[in-house]
Structure formats: C-alpha cells, structure tokens
Amino acid sequence: MESKIVLQDIEKAYGKEKPVIENLNLEIEEGSFTVLLGPSGCGKSTTLRMIAGLEQETNGTLTINGKDMKEVKPGDRGIAMVFQNYALYPTMTVKENIEFGLKNCKVPKDEREARIKEVSTAVGLKEYLNRKPNALSGGQRQRVALARAMVKNPEVFLMDEPLSNLDAKLRSQLRTDLIELHHKLGSTFVYVTHDQVEAMSMGTHIVLMHKGKIMQQGSPYKIYHDPDNVFTAQFIGTPPMNIIDLSCLIYEHTPFAEAAFVGFRPEYAMLIKEGENLPGKGMAIAGSIVTHEMLGTETLYKIDTSYGRVQVKIFDEATIADGRVIIFVPDEKLVYFDAQEQRLR
C-alpha cells in the first residue's frame, strides 16, 4: 500500500542553533493510527507541525499522497488538526464553531446542516449545539474540537496531545471514542503524546522519538516485547524493563560475548524463597523486599539487590510480604544489549 505521508531526510533547525530534528525518515501508512511518542523536547510536536504546514522543514522532502508539500499552505493539505487547548471561539455556539470552517470553504447551507448533524451525533453533541463553550465540560469541549475537524472530511487527522487537559476518567473515555472514530472513518490519524498508555492503547503503529531521532517504530506489541535499545526498553512499560549492568553481575549463560547489559520485564520474573530449588535454567538474583503493593489482580514488588533496585510483578494470590528472596528469570525471557545500549540478537 502506498504511504499516505512520507518524511525523507528531514531536518529542522531554528536559526543557527543545533537542529532539533536531524535526518528523520518516516512513512505513515494510509489509514493507520500512528502515534508519535516520546519525552518533552524529543521533536514529536515539531514533526506534527511540519506535516500540518505550521512549521517549514529546513531540509528534506515531505509528501502527502505523493505530492511534495514544500509550497502547499496548511489549508490546502487535506488535513485537520486538533490541539491540546481546544482553540474554540468562546462567543460562538457549538454549532457555529463546527460550521465555521465550512462557511469559509463556501459549502452550501443544506450540506453544512447535514454534515453538522452527522458529526454532532457521532461525537455525542447533538443536544449541545446551541450552547457556548464555557457551558461545556472539558471532555465536551474536546469533542467540539474533534467535530470541527471531522466535519471537513479530511484525509488526515493530526492531534497534538488532545487529552492532556482532561482528568483520568475522561481521558479513558475519549481514548475509546477515538479508537471507535478511527475504525468508523478509516482516515489516517497522526497523534502526538508523551503518555505511553495512550500510545499503547490507541496506536496501530508507534514511533518512539528521543532528541529528534526515531529510536524504534512498530506495533505496540513489537515495541513492548522486542525493544531495539535500552531507551525503548525503559520508556515503554509500567513499570519499565529492569536493566542490569553485566560488569557487576557474573552470569555464565550470557549468549553474547559483547553483552554489556541484561534486561527483563517485571512480569517475567518469579519470586522464590531463599533455599528453595530454582524451576529451571535462568538468571537468579538475591535481594530483600523493600515494598509490595497489592494492585488488584497483581502485586508489584520493589526489591533491593547488589545490582540496584529491581521491580517484579506477580499475578498469583500468594504474596511474600517481606524478607530475603531470589528473583528468577528464565533464560528465554532475558534480553541483552551492547555497550552502546543497542539490542543484541
């Protein structure tokens, strides 16, 4: 399938300062829900703004559906953008806010009415059309911003942290709404967030960025279970992957001579009382339980070892409250990284 959006050798610099984005190459597939994920300052919002035409790339080529966007204005790119702060007109009603862009595009009145009815029903705003934004909750205002984008029938939706101003319950509800909306519309969604829960739950494709570079991209499953580097392993996952420096640990079964670090997910470890037999081949580390938190179906342990603090997630009902334990991880659940923190395979 032809890619909807292609960024080739993109560089973005402000004045003579060091570029915030260097040599970025990214293909965003048509119809995907692609999430640009990463910490503050990693370049994800800048990348989104370049796709929107709100920022001009310093070097490189950006195409949408095979067409070079270099001279194309934001309004002519077939995209709609939803911002974190809603950007609604406070003196206009919900209906007028949704209709505003259609009037600018000289869409006939009958078609405007039909489109407004369709999108307001889709996002649950039908009974709020005559209200002003200040009479709405945060979640309703964000739905107005979504409806205003949807009513243009864009080929691409760009969203810059649209849920970050909402409380946890509303964020969860709107995540579900956005997933359903993507399925319904079949459009290309490009979504920026620093929240890995949003990325993992909504994205069909995740692009993890750090300091203007792509660290890894792929499906949520791939990026979680098969990290390419220590950064990905520790950014994705709650809690993140445990990483142990092999210069401190003698482990004779290491399959790579050049391995500098070994990692494992907290849920792949077992806790065994000292003196009990190990269940098979794997890495065993002694430690003392610092805390254990009962989180419903799972218990999260923090354990101090000679190699630093390790977190372990256990799903059975029998809990070990305190004392000395052995952390055991089967060989097949261990991943190894070299001295440059890149994955060894």
Mean pLDDT computed over 148-153: 86
Q: Which residue has the higher pLDDT, 249 or 84?
A: 249
pLDDT of residue 162: 86
Closest CA to 12 of 73, 55, 48: 55
Tell me the pLDDT of the chain averaged across its residues. 91
Q: Of 27, 69, 29, 67, nearest to 49 (Cα)?
A: 69
Cα separation of the two ends of the chain: 29
Q: Residue 223: is its pLDDT beyond 60?
A: yes
- CATH 3.30.470.10 given to domain 3-230: no
Q: According to the model, what pLDDT value does residue 39 have? A: 95
212 within 8 A of 270, measured Cβ to Cβ: no
Q: What is the per-residue DSSP string for 224-289?
A: HHS-SBHHHHHHSTTTTPEEEETTT---TT-S-TT--EEEE-GGG-EEEETTSPP-SSEEEEEEEE
Average pLDDT over residues 308-322: 85
For residue 74 the two structure tokens come to 């934001």
CA dist list (Å): 86 to 38, 91, 164, 238, 323: 22, 14, 11, 29, 51
Q: Which residue has the tokens 């999108």?
A: 119
pLDDT of residue 1: 41
- The pTM assigned to this predicted structure is 0.90
Tokens at 19, concatenated: 């570029």
Residue 59, beta-bridge partner list? 11
CA 219 to each of CA 49, 136, 243, 296, 310: distance values in angstroms, whole numbers, following the listed order: 23, 36, 22, 28, 27
pLDDT (tens digit per residue) in 104-140: 888 899 999 999 998 888 888 999 999 999 999 888 8
Is the pLDDT score of 303 beyond 90?
yes
pLDDT of residue 168: 84
46 vs 249 pLDDT, higher one: 46
What average pLDDT does this structure show over 74-79?
89
The answer on pLDDT for 306 being more than 50 is yes
Within 10 Å of residue 341's Cβ, how many Cβ atoms? 16
pLDDT of residue 236: 96
Mean of pLDDT values over 255-268 = 96
What's the average model confidence in pLDDT over 213-237? Answer: 96
Low-confidence winner among 31-35, 181-185, 298-302 (lowest mean pLDDT): 181-185
Beta carbons of 86 and 144 less than 8 angstroms apart = yes
- pLDDT given for residue 159 in this prediction: 93
19 close to 2: Cβ distance less than 8 angstroms: no
Cβ-contact 90, 134 below 8 angstroms: yes
**Cα separation of 258 and 66, whole Å?**
43
How is the chain split into domains, by residue range?
3-230, 240-344
Instruction: Kindly indicate whether the domain formed by 240-344 is annotated with CATH number 2.70.210.12.
Output: no
Yes or no: say if 150 and 185 are a contact pair by the CB < 8 Å rule. Answer: yes
Handedness of CA 310, 287, 312, 255 (dihedral sign): positive
Q: Which residues of 142-178 are buried (b: 16+ CB within 10 A; e: fewer)?
A: bbbbbbbbbbbebbbbbbbbbbeebeeebbeebbebb
Report the alpha-carbon distance of residue 51 to residue 160 in Å, rounded: 12
Q: How far is Cα 183 from Cα 177, in angstroms, rounded to an integer?
A: 10
Other Cβ atoms less than 10 A from the Cβ of 264: the count is 22
Spatial separation of the C-alpha atoms in residues 293 and 303, rounded to whole Å: 12
